[in-house]
Structure 1
Amino acid sequence: GDVSLRALDEAAAGVPIGCEGLCVLETFQGSRTPVTDPLARGALVGLTLRHTAAHVWRALLEAICLGTRAAVEALEAATGEPPAVLLAAGGATRSPLWLQ
C-alpha cells in the first residue's frame, strides 16, 4: 500500500544510526561532486530479513547526507574556509530526520 514519506521518516527515526549494519551507496545515477563518475552504481549492502522499510529509508538518508558532507568538505578544501550557510530546498526540507 501507500506509505507516506512522513510515515517513513517517523519510523526511520526509531532506527539506530548505522541502520543495524544496512549500508547504501547512493550513486544510483552515477557520482558527482566531489568525484565525478557517471558510470558509478549504487548498492544496498548488508540487507537481512530483520531490516524494514524504515531501515532502508534511513540508510538512504544517511548515504545522501554523507555525500553532501563530502561535497561540503571538498568546497572547504578548495576555498580554505567553510561555507557560511548551507541552504536546503525542495521536498527534503519537509523531513526533520533528513535535516538534522
Structure 2
Amino acid sequence: MLGSGFEAAVVRYNVLYVLVHAPRVPRGVRSQRRPGWTVVGRLDAAWQVSRGFGIRLPLVCFLLATVLVAAACYGWSWWRRRARPPFGRRLLLADLACSAASGTVPVLLGLV
C-alpha cells in the first residue's frame, strides 16, 4: 500500500471509488437517451448517504440543487423559447423521481 495514516487511506479510498464507479458512464452526455444511468447514479448517491448521514448531507443538497436547475432550464426552454429542451423528458422525469426517492433517505435516517 502507498502511504500510511488517515490521509493516505482517504486518498486510496477515493481513487478506488473513482476507478470502480467511473466505468458506469460509458458515453458521458450521450447517455441522456437512457435514463437508466440516472437511476443508477441516484441510487448510488442514496447508498452513499446511508453510509454516513452527516458528511454526505451536502451531497444531497448539491444533487437537489442540480435537479432544480435542470428542471428550470427545461421549463424555460420549453415555455419561453418554444425550442427543443437541452435534454429529453424521460431523463428529466427519471431525475426528478430518483431525486425524490434518494431525498427520502436522509429524512428516514433523521427519523430513526
- Please give the TM-score of this superposition, normalised by the length of structure 1: 0.36
More strand by share: 1
Which structure has the larger Rg? 2
More helix by share: 2
- Please give the TM-score of this superposition, normalised by the length of structure 2: 0.33
Instruction: Specify which structure has the bigger relative contact order, considering alpha-carbon pairs within 8 angstroms and separated by 6 or more residues.
Output: 2
